[in-house]
Every structure is written in C-alpha cells, then in structure tokens.
Structure 1
Amino acid sequence: MMAAPELVIRNARRLGRAVDLLVSDGKVLELTDHAPDRYYGAARTVDAGGAILLPALIDAHTHLREPGFEYKEDIASGLAAAAHGGFGRIMCMANTRPVNDHAPITQAMLGAARKTWPQGPFLHPIGALTKDLKGQELAPMAELAEVGCVAFSNDGLPVADTERFRRAVEYAASVGRPVIDHCEDPHMAPAAGVNEGAISSRLGLRGQPDVAEAVQVARDILLAEYLAIPIHLAHISCIRSLEFIRAAKARGVAVTAETCPHYLLLTEEAVDGYRTEAKVNPPLRTQADLQAMRAAIADGTIDMLATDHAPHAAHEKDVEFDLAPCGISGLDTALPLTWDLVREGVLDEAAFRRLWHERPAEVFGLPANYFRPGDPADFILFDPEARWTLTTETMRSKGKNTPFLGREMRGRCTLLAMAGNVVLG
C-alpha cells in the first residue's frame, strides 16, 4: 500500500503534460496525471496553476566570496540569490581569503550555509587544487574531500606546469573527486576580459585570443586520455575548444564541459563603450562562437550549464576597463535567461533539465531527481510567463554587476523545495 503523501503539487506542467507530484518523507512518492477530484487527505497541497515542474537547478560553478570578501557576497546572500533563482545546490570555488585549501575553511563555509539556509539551497564547496592557488604545492585533497569538498580546482589561476597538474589530477582521482580546470594559457593576455579582434582593436585594449583557451583544453584532453581520468572543463566559450571536445568525446575520452548563459546570449559587442559589466573571463566571443555554443548545448558536446556567478562591488567595476575585475553576477538571472533558449527552439525541456540538473548531478556525485519514486524531492515550480525587471532592488545577490540590468525578464521561480521542504514559495 502506498504511503500517504505529505506534500502534493497539483496541476503542474511537465513536458507539456498536466501532472500532480506526491511527496512523502522527503522523496518522490508518485508523479501522476493531474486528477482535479483526487483527495489527498491531510497533505499540504499547492496549486501550481500550470507552472512548469523542474528538478531544482544545480550550479557547478559559483563564487560566494566568504570568507574574506563578504562585501562582494556572503554565503547567506549567495544562497538567497540561488533560492530565488531556482537553484537547490551550488558548488563554490576556492578563491576566498583565506583560500579553501584546508579542512577548517571548508567546515566554516558549510557551517555558515547550514546556519542561514538549513533546509537548502545546499552548498557544495570546491577545494583548492594547490595550496593558496599558487600552482606549486598540492593541497591536502584527501582531508578536503573527507570534510565535504566535491571537486578540486585552481579556478582562475590554472596550473601552468603540466607535470604538476598531472599529479594533481591523479591525487584528486585517488580520493574520488574530479578536477575542474579553468582553461587559459597564463601567458596569453590572462584575464584580459575582451576577445582579441575588431572590438578590442577599435577600443585600443589588449585582447585575449580564443587559442589561449583552446590550447589548454587540448592539453587537458590529452592528459585525460593518457591517464584515463576524467577532467571537467570550465566555462567553455569558443569554436576551437568545441572542436577538441567533440573529437575527444568521439574517441571516448572522459572529458566533460560546461558553458555559461552569457556565452549563449552575448557577444564581444557587449563590451563596446568600455562596458565593464560585460568584462568576463574567458571573454565574450564572436557571433560565430555564440552560434556554435548554442549548437553544442543542444547536441551534448557541452554537458552542463553553470553561472560562473562572480559578484563584485559597484565601485570595483566603476573604473577603467583594464582595472576592472572580470565577472558577471548570474544566480538571479540564469533561469529566465536560459529558458529563452527553450522558447527559441535551441533547447527542449528535456535538454534544459539535462544541462541544469542531471549532468551536474552525475558528474559531481550529487543527488538527482528524475521524478521517479524514491528520488529526492528537490524541485522547483517555474512560471514562464511571469514578467519582471532586473534592477539592483530585484536582485538578491550583493553583486549587481551584470550587463542585463534594466532588462525585462520573462519567467520566475515561484517555489523551491528541497527534500520535500518548501524553502521558497
């Protein structure tokens, strides 16, 4: 006999079908066709009103800035932005101060998350690959994995020494964790924030060519193939990288890759006028690159989407272009912006779920919800027709640095539940 549901979501839409979701003991009990007259006893019942039912999004690449840079973002504000943005789990990079390269830092981060958002969204720290991100001595990855780090990365300071990077990948694999690599040749205009081309020439800025990314992608693929160890490639932005990734996957190389909403929606033209809010690393590329990235998320060459949420204070971006830090604040906006790709026919709903939930969960060993009985009841309701304007007031993140400020957004998360607990809505 089926257990009695504790929570029922009625009249939601999934793959164009009206459904009811029944939840018990934090897990999916049943997903069934919508039954308007069915009685569910004492269960808490929520009328979805035709909103879309999706698994809670997973962001495999964020920067929450705590400890050390709480004026940009802290764990509480970052998780608030995540919750309102439809994210149930976020993985945060190690470039804090001090760097997350030893267990007490990881434990403090997890403690802050539990204190401020005890029922989720949940924080999953990414440990430093090398001590203090200096690319020299390997971080104590076994210790970091034991206390909760789900992956390792040197983030924006990629390890240039290939032998040392190899040893780091082997060490991470020995403790059952993948390495995430920021693919950037450190000698080719690192963090320039603008693509090398017509725009950079016209603005008189030193640009970074796409080969600076692609050469590191090629190195990582060769290592992954030689070692038979998975490597995950962060924020891919260009055709040249995609060509290497596509060929590697055809050979069966254990390489996975992500890209970000801004590489699917903006080109290098966005920095025209020295617009620092569009300065990001890797830089925004050409229209041809954008179209290629869109094709790659649809055909599976790119495994997942990630925000690369990089909040900064207003005064840090309000400077000359060369002096401004790279980064776009993305947790507040990623869901509605990328749902536009579903409207345009670039993605279907199944691909959207794959990119924002299923593949991140598979690659990083996180709980996944396919809405099968027994799956964790981590889900959102998304109203695709809700309209709102992105302003500094409507953003939950402390970081207001986004080129989408002032844009009318279409779509909003109206409910977030984690393990059957309604966190938002």
Structure 2
Amino acid sequence: MTVSASPYTGGPGDGAGDADLQQIVDALAERLRRSVAIDDPRLRLLAASRHFGDEDPARVHAMLSREATPANTEWVLSHGVASWHGPGRIQARPESGAAGRVCVPVRCHGALFGYLWLIDPDKAVTEDQLAAAQQAAEHAGAVLDGQLRFQRRRRQMEGALVSDLLGDDAAARARAREALLSGGFPAAQGCVAVLVVEVLPVPGAEVPDAATADLERALRAAVEPAALRVPGGSVLGLFRGGHAVLLLTAATQWHEGALTDVAGRLTRSVGAVVGVGSVHHDLDDSLESYRHALDAVRAARLLPDLGPVVLWDRLGAYAVLLQLLPERVSREHYPAPVARLLAADRSRRLVTTVETYLDHAGDSQLTAQALGIHRTTLYYRLGRVEEIGGISLRDGGDRLTVHLGVKLARLSGDLPPAPLPPS
C-alpha cells in the first residue's frame, strides 16, 4: 500500500518552534512596549505577548478563543492581506470591537505562514518600529517554515511505518511495529482501532478537494479534539485521494461512544462515510481492524440507510455477506426462493414484509407495528411469500435461506437500502 501520510499528534521537537515563536513575540513587545500577536493565515492565534493597556475587545476574544470572530476574519481578509508582502494597515471596525491595526505578513521563501499584528488606533507606530516588526515577522516565518519541514519529514517516516503496519507483508508489519514502539511514536501504545473514511459528493455541501491538503486539514480539525478527550488518545493518518485511513490508539480502551464521536465529526466535516473497524489491544492486530473498517465503509456506501457511520461490530449478517463481493453477485446467484420472490414482487412489498418479519425474529406483533399494517394483512403477505417462494416460514432452514438471500440482494443493489435489523 503506497500512500502519503500525516500524523495528528505532535512529536519530539514540535514544541521547540512554538517556544521560538513566543520568544519572538515577547521580545518585540518589550522593545516596542506594545502588545504583539501572530495568527496563522486563517487568523487562528499562534502566539501573543502580554498587554500594555492597548488591548481591544477583538484581541481579548482572540486570546480566549484562540481565533478571531468570523466577522473580524472576513473584515481582515477583505483587505487582501493574503497577497501583501510588506506591512499595511487595517482600518478600525468599531462594531466588532476591533481598533486600527498594523498587519505584517509572516512569510518565508514567499510562502505565507500568517500575520504579525500591532494594535495601533492612533497611527502612532513609527518607521523604526515597523522595521522591527518586519524583522520579527521574517524571523517568525523562518521558524514556521522549519516547523513545516520537520512535520513533513516526520509524516513521511510515520506514513511509511503505518503503511507497512497495515500491509500484507508479515515481516514488514513486524518491523513497523517495532519501529513505532522503539521510536516513541505517540500512536504506538494501548488499544487500537482503524477508521476508513471515503469522501463522497454531497449535494449542496462544500467538500474539500480530496487531492489537496484541505482534506487532510479538515480531517485533522475534526478528529483531534475527540481523540484528545480519550486518555492517551492519538491518531495517525494515511491519505490516498478521497480515501483516508485513521489509526487510533488509546491508553486504555476505545469505547463505542468515543469511536462514534470521532467518526461523526469526520462525516460532518468533510461529507464522508466512515467505516469503524474492530477494537484490539495490540498494534499487531491493526491489520484485522483495517480490514473490518474496509468492510464497514463498503456497507455504508452500498446501504445509505445505515447512516454515514457504520461500525463493523454492528454489521451482523452483513459482515459475512460482504465477504461474498456483492458487486459481483447477480440474481442468478440468489437462493431460488429469493430469486422467485424478486421476480414476482415488482413493488417489493412482499420482500420488505418478509425481511422485516425475519429481522424481528418472527414476532408478528412487532412486525405489524414496524410496517404499520394490521396483523391480518401481515399473515396474508407472509402466506404469499411462502406460496411464491415454495418455502415454509416455520422451517428454520427456509428462514435462514430467505433472510440471507434478501440481505445479499440489498448489498447487490437489487433492493433499495434498508436499515440494519434491530439489535
């Protein structure tokens, strides 16, 4: 499996760049006797100095929430700051509590890494102070560029290891496991589960281009907060087009609720279906979880009524039927009673009735309630099913044949999607 990769957790040395950035901000603030802040290109706070009585409501909000308000973000970006290559001024926006500011783009080798800010309502910043701010911004750009290069190298290294861990070569898997454990990688200990994410086009939704880093960033923003709420939680990611594999670990256990939370964030963030693999207690079992996650995401794709998040542990009979490669199965492969029923039941009313009946373990009262029909109608339909299929629903073998055959027909696309049977 040849894929690119991105970890969602920090590694050795990641914090050094943050410390350097804070030192740059603090040194400039003390020199100018003004508060200084650095944001990333989306106006999320990276570092900020102490205040000198010059803070405004917009700065206080950014300090507390680590980002500008949507209104202030739109206001700042409307000035075209993303294309600036030198200091400029942003006019005040009193209605959102933002005083006038000096903005200095933070760049390195032409690439934009963010913005350095000086609050300056009276336009009192001197040319010498601007020059000092420009120098600090250049230094910050070099620090952020170094962080980016380090992260890319680490991602490549982790990606190769995780790719081997989920591959078919047993020797490569063993080497990858040992390297992750001995290297102190954050996702190398504890319980492990694998999520497979497939990005789907959603009408009316803006889905990040799967071929760009936008998808990776969106997945990171969605999954990291949920993973960090689990003791020892961490994530490694593999990306290939619109297909992403997330390997999650926790110090103790990944419970179903936590996994569903992570997966739900992903579907809401990028318009995707997510298959959740089985939970294991050793990295050696990551491949099994990965294969289970692949089956679960196929079920989510083939059976939309299951919802965008499907757990392998909840697939029931579908977990077995998915091994039969339903996309290669045609009606001629169905059990004879099911093939006869499908041929005769154009409305699919009888098929739905017998499936619901079998899903409810032959409980006629629950079946009638689920279908919203009288039990007399239910008995008539079941009688027709027996007549057409040449079966007896009092026979366990016939029940199994029909139940599995109908589920296979759903996976093969011969029937409209239906939800999982009741648990």
**Higher normalized contact order (CA 8 Å, seq sep 6+, divided by chain length):** 1
Q: Give the structure-2-normalised TM-score.
A: 0.23
